[in-house]
Structure 1
Amino acid sequence: MKKKQTVSQGRKFSQVVEGAKNIFLRDGYAGASVDEIAQAAAVSKATLYSYFPDKKLMFDEAIGTELRRLGEITPIKISSDTTAEQAIPLIARQIAVWLVTPANVHMYRIHVAEAGRFAGLAADYRATVRRLLVDELRPHLDRWVAGGELQIEDSVVAAEQLVCLAGTGLMDAALLGKRDPVTEPELARNADSAARVFLRAYTRLANDAERMTAAE
């Protein structure tokens, strides 16, 4: 029976993980060479192999560590007493900024590219992004529904819609290597348009419901 390979930790473990993360995010799994990882981590290949006898173990640890860091802070930050009309444009901008941040684009790209080889890591990434964006947004939507500001039958679907609207076009531009970074005017225009579409849909539904109730 083949002995299962495991990760070993040592004095320069964090240094190796950081170097490996940088190379994997830059070159992908297949394109990352052990020589370049060792150079980026400022260690010998012998030290590298003493911690990670297998490249897959190194990838899983490096990208998994970065994913845990990514999941520590949600970009959605609004006051609990803010109205939907005030908050939705702000939330759309916060989401848009987060989606096109270079570090987050690199993480998205690597998980899409390696989903077949690292299915568990890809699932963890999807769950993390969902928790940071959709799960953070839902309580606010539910609060505005309870207060009569919006009419939403499924706040999960509505939250997903706002996330998609906020990133429309911007993510593709960032992901596919647009030469120049997304500008602030581009980002603001896209996010504000997303907010208008979202509010127009769900506020109109709420207003229609009120008129129907009054007519009865």
Structure 2
Amino acid sequence: MRFVSDGYAAARIEPIARSAGVSTATLYTFFPSKVALFEAVIETAAKDFYDRVGPLLNTEAPDRSILTDYLIRYTEFLSDSFVRKMFRLIVAERPRFNTQAVDFFDRGRGDIAHTLIAMFETMSANGLIKTEKPSWAVSQLLGMIEHPVLLLPLASGKDPIQARSARAIAEDAVETFWARYGA
């Protein structure tokens, strides 16, 4: 992906079209500008996450195993090298695409948080957990995942070799969460 490898400013439409196996004119038929193409790339990255976690959202009775599965998929998504490169790119291009960057982060994080809040409310009503403020519990849980998997790599500018797998990070976060909030 040229945007990831070259950055937005240096990415040119002609090589992108060649990589896609189409003419520049054909590419412009689908994406009238480089901005539109970049926005489509961002939207595709967001859709990829929803495809990964979507099947978990259709449960009416979430429990610890469903929470763990959801967080493993979320952690695996954030651990993906391409996804981290996309996050870096969006952060780097925020001055140019502030509205899209804010929407990407707020919508993604908001959707994840709202899903977890709903899970926690159901789990609390079912007597599985005890939490007065589900939103606080969600922030704590997501922080245990996002800090080592996303924030540190973004801050360092490189993908560190993980001492723990995405699965282990998610499972440890759930274990810590359950120790605090489990009924």
TM (normalized to structure 2)? 0.75
Matched-pair identity in %: 25
* Partner SS state of residue 138, structure 1: helix
Q: 1:71, 1:139 → 2: CA distance?
A: 19
RMSD: 3.1
2:63 and 2:123 in contact (8 A); partners too: yes
2:76 counterpart of 1:97: yes
Choose between structure 1 and 2 for higher RCO, CA contacts under 8 A separated by at least 6 residues.
Answer: 2
Change over 3 Å in CA distance of 1:202–1:59 after alignment to 2:
same
Q: 1:89, 1:68 → 2: CA distance?
A: 21
1:67 and 1:125 in contact (8 A); partners too: no
1:89-128 counterparts in 2 under 5 A?
Answer: 89-128=68-107
2:155 counterpart of 1:177: no
Query: Deviation digits for residues 5-28 of structure 1, max 9, x if unmatched?
Result: xxxxxxxxxxxxxxxxx3223322
In the alignment, which residue of structure 1 is the partner of 2:180?
201
Matched letter for residue 29 of structure 1: Y
Query: Deviation digits for residues 163-197 of structure 1, max 9, x if unmatched?
Result: 221233122565533365x58x5223322221122
In the alignment, which residue of structure 1 is the partner of 2:165?
186
Following TM superposition, by how much is the alpha carbon of 1:72 offset from its aligned partner in structure 2, in angstroms? 4.2
Query: Deviation digits for residues 87-129 of structure 1, max 9, x if unmatched?
Result: 4433332221121123432332222111111112112212331
In the alignment, which residue of structure 1 is the partner of 2:146?
167
1:100 and 1:174 in contact (8 A); partners too: no
* Partner SS state of residue 88, structure 2: helix
Match of 2:34 among 55, 64, 67: 55
Q: 1:73, 1:24 → 2: CA distance?
A: 23
1:1-216 counterparts in 2 under 5 A?
Answer: 22-45=1-24, 48=27, 54-60=33-39, 62-67=40-45, 69-70=47-48, 72-73=50-51, 75=53, 77=56, 79-84=59-64, 86-172=65-151, 175=154, 176-178=157-159, 182=162, 186-203=165-182
Q: 2:32, 2:66 → 1: CA distance?
A: 49
Provide the aligned length of Structure 1 versus Structure 2. 179
